[in-house]
A = this chain, B = another copy of it.
Amino acid sequence: MAHSHDDHHHERPRDLTRNQDLVLQTLNHAEGPLSAYDILDKLREDGLRAPLQVYRALDKLVEQGLAHRLESLSAFVCCADAGCHDGARTAAFAICSGCGRVDEFADPEVVERLAAWAQEKGFGLERTTIELRGRCARCLGSSTP
């Protein structure tokens, strides 16, 4: 059981519920991104039955920066950078078309440039999506270059 003993959970939003914890663990153990339905399939034996149960958990996880949605894939990964866990950090993702693996990184300079553009245009920036598609070094090295 998650979050049961040892903490008084007095209004700690960082405390995960059962479903949230199940979904996060599933993402954690996955090699690459999973769709909500992939996650659902892996959690049927734990009692989950409907997509909404997964989507609701994902919403919270993404909100807290513990997971990310990859827009260009309509799929989710667990966060690989503690810096995101406050929720605000802007991350970038390199997604390999070959093996499906995702590399999360942060480039402050890129973020700063985009923020500057927004500033200049009076655009109230709330969220930024940066996704690179291509083939990772491993995939380039091994097959049909």
Contact = CB atoms under 8 A, between A and B. Distances in A.
Q: How many copies does the complex hold?
A: 2
A93 to B, nearest CB: 9
Interface string A121-145: 1111111111111111100110000
B71 A129 contact: yes
B126 A133 contact: yes
A113 B114 CA distance: 12
Given A72-B129, A129-B132, 19 more contacts: A92-B114, A92-B117, A94-B117, A94-B118, A97-B126, A103-B123, A105-B117, A109-B113, A110-B110, A110-B113, A114-B132, A121-B137, A123-B132, A123-B137, A125-B134, A126-B135, A128-B131, A128-B133, A130-B130
